[in-house]
Amino acid sequence: MTAFKGLYIKDLKLSFNGFIIGLFLIFFAMIASFALKEYFVEPSIPAIVSFIIIVLHVFYLPANLFTSLQVEAQSQLWLHNPNRGWKLFLAKIAAGITYFVASLIVSIILVKVFIVRTEYLGEFAGLSEMLGDNLLMIAGGMFLSSIYLTVWLLFYWTLYHALKRIPFLNQIRWFVLLVVWLSITIIGNLIKKIPVVKNLQELGTVNLYHFATIFRGNTVSPETAELHLGSILISILITVGVFLTSVWILERKVEV
Amino acid sequence: MISFEHVTKKYGRETALNDVSFTLEKGKIYGFLGPNGSGKSTSLKMMAGLVFPTSGTVSVNGKKVDRKIAAEIAYLSELDFYYSAFTVQDMINFSASQVSDFDWKKAEELVAFMQLDPNKKLKQLSKGNRARLKLVVTLARNTPILLLDEPFSGLDPMVRESIVKGLLSYIDFANQTVVIATHEIDEIETLLDEVIAIQNGDIWAIENVEELRETKGLSVIEWMKQIF
């Protein structure tokens, strides 16, 4: 068994209970939606709930990773390992993705059953058409957004634990994280205003015509259905940069 | 060879180690002795690359210690931490997958020696059996350095005895440097080549156990009573 496979299996086992709880919550939400449907005599409720479940999957991977990391944080003994930090982190992300995909598939099936097959959706009728044709695209978007959030979570998690080394900051670590988050947000917004960066972000525009057409009847404007390759490239660079920074902090600054 | 050169470790105003310098030689068994909070665990964690010095240098065989030293050092933690979803066999499989020096034959022998059930979940094991398992995965590695942090802490005499027997049977006395941090000396006195007395982050004395017995006529416990 390779080191990565060993880590991956370990992380699958660590997150298994969380996965089962997640599935239970999904089914519980669906059962509750049927109860509400009967109570309010509103046939669209299960469809809306199943759509919300899909949207909430954007937080699935960060939540999964956080619970797994918190198990390790009880001792941080997982750091007594000759394998590099990126391998430790990637194994956790891979295990999280496995459960994310499984949970998303369950949710997509629910959406297919409850939205696409629901005959009367009232004012949410657009959902049926949109989801019927673009479900995979939406799931892909969820996945990429989830990865992006996950990497930022890694960064703040490692920073939080690294701050433990600095006694005068130890008691105010949440506040320090808030300051760091605010600083990064402000600096990020300033950088976005630089013309060169702005131009970079708008490079390689791809119009998602089909997607846009579907939205046109609703409240979302066609412009939001544009995809900028420059923007994607910047996001990928940020993701890689934040991941490597997290690895560096984990290896050099987090103590047992 | 493990070397500490003017190593200081501070946690805010608290000093865990205070300008400590010493060298541990290959093929010897060292006892790090001292009361709770004396700096024993911090010293071992520094050797394992799990804690970093505030100042000074910790090196192993001339290399400055960092996380990668885990490839050369087997470390047994004082903590009773375990993955509750794991079975004994899962723990062994996982440990084996992470290092290249894991000796499967030795691990199987140790599991039998410690009378552990490979299929039992770790959360179902007693604290004593979890301590035995920690020793199994530590001793099953063929590393030049073995660090044992409080291996007997909170364990009953039967478990202590089995751990000492395990150490006697499975340590490679000629090639492994072993460092045992403990404040319970009874069990390991016969194992030790050298003792290092540490208190409040300072090294108080380093003695050869045989010389201590022959020249001063003292057991390690008697010697400790004199200096602490």
For A84, nearest residue in chain B (alpha carbons): B68
Binned at pLDDT 50, 70 and 90, residue A118 comes out as low
Compute the nearest-CA separation of B70 from chain A (Å): 5
Supply the pLDDT for residue B30. 95
Q: Does A195 touch chain B (CB under 8 A)?
A: no
Question: What pLDDT does A98 receive?
Answer: 96
- Determine whether the interchain pair B93/A80 forms a contact, defined as Cβ–Cβ distance below 8 Å: no
Picking from B97, B134, B141, B145 by the largest number of A CB atoms within 10 A of its own CB, the best residue to mutate is: B97
Query: Which of the four pLDDT bands, split at 50, 70 and 90, describes residue A215?
Result: very low
Question: For chain A, first and last CA: distance in Å?
Answer: 27
What gap in Å lies between CA A108 and CA A138, rounded to an integer?
A: 10
Say what the pLDDT of residue A130 is.
60
Give the mean pLDDT of chain B: 91
Which among A1, A251, A255 has the least Cβ separation from residue B97?
A: A1
| Backbone dihedral angles phi then psi of residue B27, each to the nearest 5 degrees | 80, 15
CA distance B209 to A63: 53
Which residues of B lie closer than 8 Å to A, measured between beta carbons? 11-14, 45, 48, 50-52, 66-68, 70-71, 75, 77, 79, 81, 83, 85-86, 90, 93-94, 96-99
B141 φ/ψ sector (left φ>0, alpha ψ -120 to 50, else beta): beta
pLDDT of the residue at B198: 93
From the list A3, A17, A77, the residue facing B77 with the nearest CB is A77
Checking if the pLDDT of A220 tops 50, the result is: no
| Residues above pLDDT 70, as percent of chain A | 85
- Residue B78: DSSP 8-state: S
Residue B66 predicted with pLDDT over 70: yes
Q: Which residues of A touch B13 (CB under 8 A)?
A: 167
What domain count does chain A have?
Answer: 1
pLDDT digit string (tens) for A120-138?
556 566 666 666 566 777 7
* B113-117: average pLDDT: 90
Render pLDDT for B100-113 as a digit per residue (tens, 0 to 9).
999 999 999 999 98
Residue A216's pLDDT band, with cuts at 50, 70 and 90, is very low
Please give the sequence-ordered ranges of beta strands (E in DSSP) within chain B, or none if there are none: 2-11, 14-24, 29-33, 55-60, 63-64, 73-76, 145-149, 177-182, 194-199, 202-208
Q: B93 to chain A: nearest residue by CA?
A: A6
Residue ranges and CATH numbers for the domains of chain B are 2-27+46-204 (3.40.50.300)
Range of A22's domain? 3-252
Tokens of residue A226, six digits = 């544009």
Chain A residues whose CB is inside 8 A of the B50 CB are 76, 79-80, 255-256
> How many beta carbons lie within 10 A of that of residue B155, not counting itself?
21
Q: Which residue has the tokens 């003292």?
A: B218
Whether residue A221 has pLDDT greater than 50: no
Helix A125-162 to helix A45-56 angle (10° resolution) is 30
* DSSP assignment of A2-48: -HHHHHHHHHHHHHHHHHHHHHHHHHHHHHHHHHHHHHHT-TTHHHH
Contact A168 B71 (CB under 8 A): no
Give B68-100 pLDDT, tens digit per residue: 999 999 999 999 888 989 999 999 999 999 999
User: To probe the interface with A, which of B98, B99, B100 has the most A CB atoms within 10 Å?
Assistant: B98
A14 vs B contacts (CB less than 8 Å): 83, 85
What's the count of helices (H) and strands (E) in chain A, helices before strands?
Answer: 10, 2
As a whole number, mean pLDDT of residues B123-130 equals: 91
Q: Which residues contact A227 (CB under 8 A, 6 or more apart)?
A: A205, A206, A207, A208
CB contact under 8 A, B97 and A82: no
A141-146 contacts at long range (C-beta below 8 A, 24 or more positions apart):
A142/A54, A142/A55, A142/A57, A142/A58, A142/A104, A143/A97, A143/A100, A143/A104, A144/A235, A145/A58, A146/A57, A146/A58, A146/A59, A146/A60, A146/A61, A146/A62, A146/A100
* Model pLDDT for residues A25-35, shown as the tens digit of each residue: 998 998 898 88
Name the nearest CA neighbour of B91 among B132, B35, B147.
B132
* Of B70, B75, B93, Cβ closest to residue A1: B93
Q: How confident is the model at residue A1 (pLDDT cuts 50, 70, 90)?
A: confident
Distances (CA, A) of A250 to A247, B51, B165: 5, 12, 37
**Span B37-53, mean pLDDT?**
94
Q: Check pLDDT > 80 for residue A200.
A: yes
In angstroms, the CA A255 to CA A170 distance is: 13
Average pLDDT, chain A: 85
Q: Report the percentage of chain A scoring pLDDT > 90.
A: 49
